[in-house]
Amino acid sequence: MSLNVEFGSDNHSGVHPDIMKAIIDANKGYSIAYGEDELTKSAVKKVREVFGSDIDVFFVYNGTAANIIGLKTVTNSFNSIICADTAHLNVHECCGPEKFTGCKIVTIPTKDGKLTPELIKPYLVGIDDVHMAQPKVISITQSTELGTTYAFDELKKLCSFAHKNNLLVHVDGARICNAAVFLKKDLGKITKDVGVDILSFGGTKNGMMYGEAVVFFDKKLTKDFEFYRKQGMQLTSKMRFISAQFNAFFENNLWEKNAGHANKMAQYLKNELCKIPQIKIVQKVEANMVFAYIPKKHLEKVREKFYFHVFNENACEARLMCSFDTKKESIDELINTIRDTIKK
Amino acid sequence: MSLNVEFGSDNHSGVHPDIMKAIIDANKGYSIAYGEDELTKSAVKKVREVFGSDIDVFFVYNGTAANIIGLKTVTNSFNSIICADTAHLNVHECCGPEKFTGCKIVTIPTKDGKLTPELIKPYLVGIDDVHMAQPKVISITQSTELGTTYAFDELKKLCSFAHKNNLLVHVDGARICNAAVFLKKDLGKITKDVGVDILSFGGTKNGMMYGEAVVFFDKKLTKDFEFYRKQGMQLTSKMRFISAQFNAFFENNLWEKNAGHANKMAQYLKNELCKIPQIKIVQKVEANMVFAYIPKKHLEKVREKFYFHVFNENACEARLMCSFDTKKESIDELINTIRDTIKK
Amino acid sequence: MSLNVEFGSDNHSGVHPDIMKAIIDANKGYSIAYGEDELTKSAVKKVREVFGSDIDVFFVYNGTAANIIGLKTVTNSFNSIICADTAHLNVHECCGPEKFTGCKIVTIPTKDGKLTPELIKPYLVGIDDVHMAQPKVISITQSTELGTTYAFDELKKLCSFAHKNNLLVHVDGARICNAAVFLKKDLGKITKDVGVDILSFGGTKNGMMYGEAVVFFDKKLTKDFEFYRKQGMQLTSKMRFISAQFNAFFENNLWEKNAGHANKMAQYLKNELCKIPQIKIVQKVEANMVFAYIPKKHLEKVREKFYFHVFNENACEARLMCSFDTKKESIDELINTIRDTIKK
Amino acid sequence: MSLNVEFGSDNHSGVHPDIMKAIIDANKGYSIAYGEDELTKSAVKKVREVFGSDIDVFFVYNGTAANIIGLKTVTNSFNSIICADTAHLNVHECCGPEKFTGCKIVTIPTKDGKLTPELIKPYLVGIDDVHMAQPKVISITQSTELGTTYAFDELKKLCSFAHKNNLLVHVDGARICNAAVFLKKDLGKITKDVGVDILSFGGTKNGMMYGEAVVFFDKKLTKDFEFYRKQGMQLTSKMRFISAQFNAFFENNLWEKNAGHANKMAQYLKNELCKIPQIKIVQKVEANMVFAYIPKKHLEKVREKFYFHVFNENACEARLMCSFDTKKESIDELINTIRDTIKK
């Protein structure tokens, strides 16, 4: 049996058939490049139907770019960006944010990947002191890199706190759909309505091939984005093929179905894991990932058959990801493998 | 009749059916993300079959990125990069090269988009003078932004000149396939064999959906590329979908067929245009584009029906692009439109 | 006889005695660092007496920094800065402007180091085209790197042209005092009154030890300067010692006396050179430098005794600089050396 | 009585008379600019007498620049630099390090401003993982921003740990002289001999007007420094005036006398403060600064007469700095003021 990589990442899945169909359908005739095509207009319209007509939306290739170009658009190089120390933009973007924005990334330790006003307050120092980086943006991840989700009220409080302190709120929404499904809220409800200023809206991890969107809820912030996107190597020529994906993504609420399936599978996986006494769930399961403590000797055995990340090697915390096409049977197989391993 | 955008850019075409088929076929099961999948291994192997086993190749999203990340990998921020003033990296990358590399882009005026040792020599000043940017790379475009092509001997002379002056040679090969077909040479013959050090190898303009490759002919130069690619927001998660395209690109010499068709159409277009006395071909047609002078009053009329760039508005030089799927009938239609316009 | 380096640069001179006295006098007691001291307040006041109370002025260490930090303050990284190809910021700042601003430096060839609207016009392309660097600033040098000076009307025309095209005007005024003296105009007359937006105001080349000023004529542009100055490593702790120099610089019009002497010596040098038939003055002498053609064989001999730059080695153009303390006797000695060399 | 700013910073003092004399003496005749003068040669020689002939040394304007240009020379933009969260380069350089190097600044909380291998170990993650910033340098401050000093053995252990992990060690030595005096060791003993790779060698805070040195103990690291210094706006034209200061600094061990006096005054201040029961010394006094808890109501009163920083406003920790010319009488005055305040 070859290594099963299904739980390694939601990026390990391929493309949802509806998305693929949209790509195939988009491959007709000639279109003006760089976004002046009909499919892009239609995709922008669809995003506006979700978030309101008073927003701006742009497409880029990937989530790292959505974060970095979005943040560059609203910062100067002497600013700081505040995030949880687990944030993708801190840990997994190879100091791309620092290089492209020049900003300091101020990192705050958290237990569950979630920032609060209380946690942030001590870091708001040196305002107007030219020696010190000037705080400009709070960047949160929704749902977080630890599989937890900010509740509606938490978001509202955080945004209100930010704005009172002249800070903007950016949401790394690589998995915003999973959060919306978990919270049973519309996408606009947990972003625009709570006061979020910029959203990296994820598609790839939820069934798309490539392509993410940057949504600006305050159009006054948008002005320079398109120049930074081009300068940041993120303007795709045949944009219709990203736009087609977003069109399908919003057609019949595909985004919701995909995220819903992933979340459901994560719950199932969690529940099955809970039945094994040696396993301990170490983070709330509020999206599509499960963090589970597996005793070291068993962990190593399981990894011989299943490929997944161990978030904290010393603590033996496995990160098990579900996606839009995670199979229940695969979960059962994983569970059985764990049980067998422990039995031996 | 709606605006015909076919000749506006080789980016206005969609995706070749064989490429699309490869994408569809790639959509099976789960693969490790970020390039550790089988399709990527196979694509790298295919590129090595073309250029030799002693090269390194990496995939990025687009040509701007191939240029910038490739150049960053071999420069320090105090270096200069020498190119023709018409170079894509100078004109159409929104100072992305300056921002990401820090380097000075030294631009040299040319008649036909082609650099020569004689043209470059006067710019090689200030070596070891700390006040001055230190020349490090000569970047040429093959085929050029003006549709011309460097001949084998010209390339050899240029590379030899570069190396004698401790400079590297980078080729922006967004249309390297068109050049290879025109020159009737293998891809390796006009790059590795003449002494090129780094190649941006273009796929998108020649029938792919997205994806370009950066080829290093000297593996000692490669070391930092993968970090800069990630930092530069160019590491795609579901890489198999770029790799699948490159696999198809090299299968049955699709790259050659596509470029061959585009070049052939450009020749046909040129020949038809030559039959119209009022039109003047202003650059040699050695790839897939035709630069044609069209008298101002006619130009405006033609543009009401056909969308294309006018390279030099004052000089009324139309840039007419052909691609892998340019239709002979469309050319006839364009020619008829021009004839009709002039007749009136 | 050791090598005479007097004509090599106006930087080869030391510090004017009045400046040195001010430095010594500043060395009393304790002052708050970073500019919150009395001497700095007084220096700012003095600069405002010269340019008007509605300007902002900041001190930095050197001219390269005055240019770069000033330009950064008014640009985004996707902008371009237009200058003569001889501009210090293009030739002699080791791509510091590119690295710190991200901008493209667009260089225009000139005969005399001076830009005109006619020369600039062809470069104002691609406005609002996201693929292209967006022109933002015209940077001129006054007096120029070739020793020529923009006349009042030329400045007015250029600034008016710039503003009509939504461009700002930056003046690299490393030798603005020499220009003012030559033009017999007040400093404000040839900067603020003609519409200049930002001035790098030079002190070091005109008798100071270190220290330059950045003057913003539109206070709305100033906002971010102090953060960029600190981030750009240009905020001096013991600022009183720069400020003291500027205080002395404006006391009894020392700036004017110094520049006046330098200009006078340049005229004397020019006149003496004109008497030698083999020598040819190749640029108008309108400030403190003389560009003179000296036949190759003589040039080499003269350089054995006198150290100076040869601006264009092939053309044998010597750059001979005068400063606030150039001695008439040294000029006579240089002239004699040239005469002797030619005689032999 | 006006506000006494003497204890606000060691930058609030002026210039030591011997340094000033050297500056005055340097003001004779003409010298080649940018470091090719005799005084610079002599200063380099003097630094080599201290650290050994196999080192490289360069002068820059200030300490922020010494840190940033030094670090840039040995890093790529995808690296990380590890430091204490109190480090000047993290807190007080306005994200200049991020902007100029592109690197991530990884900050580690400490109790006393000092890093240890144990503290660093958990941060050495993601080696060779392209998603993550690659650790390259450990930067420590000696003596620290909290007035503490790394002992010889601590330095040795840290350097050995760094090198075993392929990391370089950079010392921000803005107050390295104070540390050397406290440790009763030669400057080379606590830098070169323990394995430090790069040293920002401070002058300004110890009696100079402006000017710091960057010392490379491994000449192989030096290659690009001079280009980055120029590009980083830190190459001074009239360098003789910085070099003259360093010449005086090493003449008759002025550096040692100055630092010795500052340290002695800090001890005296500490001892006097200890006699006041309400005051608590909160950091070891091992250099020229004293961190003292002063109860809030008294603190505010004292600040009406004395200007100093309160390092942690909530914790009421006053930072009291001594310098080469701190007067014992001033300390007595401060102590009396505190006593009077408390009495009332």
Q: Do A238 and B26 touch (CB under 8 A)?
A: no
| CB nearest to C11's CB, from D28, D96, D237 | D237
pLDDT tens digits, A177-188: 999 999 999 999
**Chain D partners of A133 at a C-beta cutoff of 8 Å?**
94-95
**Chain C partners of D205 at a C-beta cutoff of 8 Å?**
237
B77 to each of B134, C54, D50, D102, D230, how far by Cα in Å? 9, 38, 32, 11, 11
**Chain B partners of A209 at a C-beta cutoff of 8 Å?**
23, 238, 241
Q: Do D131 and A77 touch (CB under 8 A)?
A: no
**Chain C partners of B98 at a C-beta cutoff of 8 Å?**
77, 98, 102-105
**Do C141 and C171 touch, CB atoms closer than 8 A?**
yes
Dist CA C296 CA C314 (whole Å): 9
pLDDT tens digits, A190-230: 999 999 999 999 999 999 999 999 999 999 999 999 999 99
Q: Do C130 and A235 touch (CB under 8 A)?
A: yes
**Chain D partners of B76 at a C-beta cutoff of 8 Å?**
224, 227
pLDDT tens digits, B295-342: 999 999 999 999 999 988 889 999 999 999 999 999 999 999 999 999
**Chain A partners of C77 at a C-beta cutoff of 8 Å?**
228, 231
Q: Alpha carbon C96 to chain centroid distance? A: 17
pLDDT of B1 over the 60 cut: no
Domains, in order of start, for chain D: 17-253 (3.40.640.10), 254-343 (3.90.1150.10)
**Do C174 and C202 touch, CB atoms closer than 8 A?**
yes
**Chain A partners of B206 at a C-beta cutoff of 8 Å?**
none
* Mean local confidence (pLDDT), B193-214: 98
| C-alpha distance from C247 to closest chain A C-alpha (Å) | 24
In chain B, the residue whose alpha carbon lies closest to the alpha carbon of C91 is B132
- Residues lower than pLDDT 70 in chain C: 1
What subunits touch chain C, counting only 3 or more CB pairs under 8 A?
Answer: A, B, D
Residues of A with CB under 8 A from a CB of D: 77-80, 91-95, 98-99, 102-105, 107, 126, 130-133
C interface test, pick of D234, D237, D243 with most C CB neighbours within 10 Å: D237
Residues of C with CB under 8 A from a CB of B: 77-80, 90-95, 98-99, 102-105, 107, 126, 130-133
| C-alpha distance from B295 to closest chain C C-alpha (Å) | 21
| C-alpha distance from B88 to closest chain C C-alpha (Å) | 10
Q: Do D134 and B226 touch (CB under 8 A)?
A: no
pLDDT tens digits, D53-111: 999 999 999 999 999 999 999 999 999 999 999 999 999 999 999 999 999 999 999 99
**Chain A partners of B307 at a C-beta cutoff of 8 Å?**
32
C interface test, pick of A34, A72, A98, A231 with most C CB neighbours within 10 Å: A231
Return the biggest CA–CA distance within chain D.
63
The amino acid sitting at A75 is: T
Q: Do C204 and D237 touch (CB under 8 A)?
A: yes
pLDDT of residue D239: 98
pLDDT of A1 over the 80 cut: no
**Do D26 and C14 touch, CB atoms closer than 8 A?**
yes
**Do B179 and B206 touch, CB atoms closer than 8 A?**
no
Residue keyed to tokens 């400063």: C323
pLDDT of B148 over the 70 cut: yes
Residue keyed to tokens 């008014």: C74
**Chain C partners of A78 at a C-beta cutoff of 8 Å?**
224, 227-228, 230-231
pLDDT of residue A168: 98
Dist CA D228 CA D223 (whole Å): 10
| CB nearest to D104's CB, from A78, A80, A98 | A98
Q: Which of A308-317, B4-13, B95-104, D175-184 has the lowest mean pLDDT?
A: A308-317
Q: Do D76 and B130 touch (CB under 8 A)?
A: no
Residues of A with CB under 8 A from a CB of C: 34, 76-78, 102, 130-131, 134, 224, 226-231, 235
Q: What are phi and psi of B145, to 5 degrees?
A: -65, -10
Residues of D with CB under 8 A from a CB of B: 34, 76-78, 102, 130-131, 134, 224, 226-231, 235
In chain B, the residue whose alpha carbon lies closest to the alpha carbon of D229 is B130
pLDDT of A344 over the 90 cut: no
Q: Which of C2, C89, C7, C88 is nearest to C319 (CA)?
A: C7
Q: Do B78 and D227 touch (CB under 8 A)?
A: yes
Expressed in percent and rounded to 5, the helix, strand and coil fractions of chain B are 40, 15, 40
Residues of B with CB under 8 A from a CB of D: 34, 76-78, 102, 130-131, 134, 224, 226-231, 235
Cis peptide preceding A2, ω within 30 of 0: no
Dist CA D292 CA D185 (whole Å): 27
Q: Do A235 and B96 touch (CB under 8 A)?
A: no
Dist CA B200 CA B213 (whole Å): 6
pLDDT of residue C174: 98
pLDDT tens digits, A110-152: 999 999 999 999 999 999 999 999 999 999 999 999 999 999 9
Q: What are phi and psi of A90, to 5 degrees?
A: -85, -45
ipTM above 0.90, yes or no: yes
**Chain D partners of C322 at a C-beta cutoff of 8 Å?**
none
Secondary structure class of C179 (helix, strand, coil): helix
Q: Which of D182, D216, D209, D229 is nearest to D69 (CA)?
A: D229
C interface test, pick of B71, B95, B103, B127 with most C CB neighbours within 10 Å: B95
DSSP strand E in A190-343: where? Answer: 198-201, 212-216, 280-281, 289-293, 309-312, 317-321
* Mean local confidence (pLDDT), B282-303: 97
* Mean local confidence (pLDDT), D31-38: 96
Q: What DSSP designation does A118 have? A: H
| C-alpha distance from A102 to closest chain D C-alpha (Å) | 4
* Mean local confidence (pLDDT), D5-32: 97
**Chain C partners of B127 at a C-beta cutoff of 8 Å?**
none
Task: Return the structure tokens found at B177.
Answer: 């396939």
| CB nearest to D209's CB, from C8, C31, C238 | C238
| CB nearest to B230's CB, from D76, D131, D228 | D131
Residue keyed to tokens 């008439």: C328
pLDDT of residue B344: 85
Dist CA A282 CA A275 (whole Å): 14
Q: Do B236 and A4 touch (CB under 8 A)?
A: no
**Chain C partners of D9 at a C-beta cutoff of 8 Å?**
33, 237
**Chain D partners of C30 at a C-beta cutoff of 8 Å?**
4-6, 8, 12-14
Q: Which of D259, D260, D145 is nearest to D207 (CA)?
A: D259
Q: Do D236 and C96 touch (CB under 8 A)?
A: no
pLDDT tens digits, D239-288: 999 999 999 999 999 999 999 999 999 999 999 999 999 999 999 999 99
Q: What are phi and psi of D45, to 5 degrees?
A: -60, -45
* Mean local confidence (pLDDT), A300-320: 94
In chain B, the residue whose alpha carbon lies closest to the alpha carbon of C99 is B102
| C-alpha distance from D66 to closest chain A C-alpha (Å) | 16
**Do B28 and A14 touch, CB atoms closer than 8 A?**
yes
What subunits touch chain D, counting only 3 or more CB pairs under 8 A?
Answer: A, B, C
